[in-house]
A = this chain, B = another copy of it.
């Protein structure tokens, strides 16, 4: 098909051309004496993305799925009780991972479209007077439903209840895109992948530990080898890795972090919010459809899951979008399969990129018979974006 593919799944995201070029490098000796000149500042700057000064960040040659394991195997022991909530495919998979690793997972079902119920959490933590719960596993942004949890509020619950559980966060579709503050929010382990807000191809998991979490490695007895942070700690301190890293990914990360810090993280968050709000205006005001997220407080600034009207299958919309308009939309997963399609609006995006996504979704919906008014979605989005555009410099 002529022209570029329009990629608006919620990951992998569009990698900036300058990042792709930065990755197009010959191989190099990862044991070279000057290799640390690349690695050391990179690990330091990676911490800035997590907004931590006291924690330690690690780069694993793996994916977010491995990131869940990194968080758990370095801090917990077989049979340890962990608490979680299940409200989408990715919170589901983390729970499954924890079970597979031999943890005692207590999880609570939440309707898909909502997030962690703070009252329930507070009650449960108060109940746990003996502090049997060793860790709280929370998916910051549930990619499957477009629901974002308020981590600050959860931290407040932990503080209010005085519960010492490790606060572990899956930030895969959040970190680097929406506000995330490791130190301020007392997060113990946070992880993300390279292929979302970090604007890189898949292949890296970035995991950050608080000092409290780091200490746990000495007593944690879950088996660990490839994902052992001890090996990383030993080698990283000199600017090396315990095994061969993907040097193109390191150079790409260097460039991606530079882009983010040049824009300014707060500006990155603001941009994501503004762009996401435009998409929501298209969905709610323009098309008159509903989001999977049931309440504005859950709205995600990185991904919107759009509910198709009764009688339609969202998979038909996606298929038409892909084959007719070269547009890749995200699908509904598991419980919401066929009921929603998703637009990812994270990473290296701007208004007119999302215009393609909105227009294409609208065309595909009309093609399958969904009665949205032509141009209604994009008109709502563009007016919002225009109203909120920064003034031009003179």
Q: Is the CB of B5 within 8 A of A28?
A: yes
A363 touches B350 (CB 8 A): no
Q: Determine the interface band of chain A, counting residues with CB < 8 A from chain B.
A: 35 or more
| This protein's copies in its complex | 4
**Which A13-38 residues sit within 8 Å CB-CB of chain B?**
13-18, 20-33
Q: Are B359 and A378 in contact (CB under 8 A)?
A: yes
Q: What are the residues of chain B within 8 A of A353 when measuring CB–CB?
A: 3-4, 6, 356
Q: Distance (Å) between the CB of A285 and the closest chain B CB?
A: 12
Q: Using CB atoms, name the residue of chain B closest to A248.
A: B201
Question: Could you give, for residues 360-378 of chain A, a 1 whenever the CB lies within 8 Å of some chain B CB and a 0 otherwise?
Answer: 1011001100000011101
Contact with B along A326-365 (1 / 0, CB 8 A): 1110110000000000000000111111011001101100
Q: Is the CB of A226 within 8 A of B27?
A: no
A224 at the interface (CB under 8 A from B): yes
Q: Is B247 within 8 A of A202, CB to CB?
A: yes
Chain B residues with Cβ under 8 A from A348's Cβ?
2-4
Known: A247-B201, A367-B386. A63 touches B61 (CB 8 A): yes
Interface status of A263 (Cβ within 8 A of chain B): yes
A105 CA / B32 CA spacing, docked (Å):
33
In the complex, the answer to whether B224 meets A29 with C-beta atoms within 8 Å is no
- Among the stretches A46-54, A145-153, A304-312, A317-325, the one at the interface with B is A317-325
